[in-house]
Structure 1
C-alpha cells in the first residue's frame, strides 16, 4: 500500500480549486454579457412589451378596442358613406366615437365574464 503524501494531496486540491475558479470565471463572464445585453434600452422595451402582450387582461383590452374601433368605423361608413359635407363629417365622427365607446365597454364586460368562467 502506498503512503499518502500530504504534499501531493495539497497539489491536487490546489489544482481542483484552480479548475473550479476558471469555471466560475467563465460563468461570471457569461452572466456579465447576459446582463449587459438585457440592460440595453431596446431589449428593455422588447421585454416590457413581451410581458404585456402575454397577459390575458392586455389581450382582452386589445381585442375589445379593435372590435370597438372597427364597429364604429363600419357604422360611420354604412350610415353616412363618403360625404363632402363638413357637418355630416363631424356628426359621423361623433357617431363613430359613441359607437366605438359603447361597443368597447360592452366587449370589456363580456371578456371579463369569459375570463371569470375559465
Structure 2
C-alpha cells in the first residue's frame, strides 16, 4: 500500500514539474521574441531617435551645434566669398573651424 501512495506522489510531482517546464518554455519563447524584435536594426534606430527627441540636453546640444556650424560657414562665405586661391581656402576653412568651435562651446553665453 505504501508503494502505491509513493508512486502517486511521484506521478503528481512529475506532472507538476512538466507543467512548470511548459510554462517556463512559453515565457522563454516570449522573451526571445521580444528580444529579437528589439534587436532589429530598424527598431534600434527608432529607439535611438525617440530617445534623442525626448532628451532636452540632446536637443540643446543639437541646436548649439547647428548654430555654431552655420555661423562658421556664413563667416567664411562673408569674409572670403568664393576664392580659387588655395591658401585663402585653407585659411577660410581654419577660420570656419575656429568660429564653429567657439560659438558651439559658448552658445550659452552668447546673447541674441
Q: TM-score, normalised by structure 1?
A: 0.60
Aligned partners of 2:42, 2:64: CA distance in 1, in Å?
28
Q: Which residue matches 1:66?
A: 66
Ranges in structure 2 where 5+ consecutive residues have no aligned partner: 1-26
- Name the SS for the 1:78 alignment partner: helix
Q: Which residue matches 1:43?
A: 43
**Greater CA deviation, 76-85 or 40-49?**
40-49
Deviations 1:46-71 (A, max 9, x none): 11221122100000010000000000
Q: TM-score, normalised by structure 2?
A: 0.63
Aligned positions, number: 85
Written as runs of structure 1 = structure 2, the 5 A alignment for 1:1-118 is 36-107=36-107, 109-110=108-109
Distance 1:44 1:55, change over 3 A: same
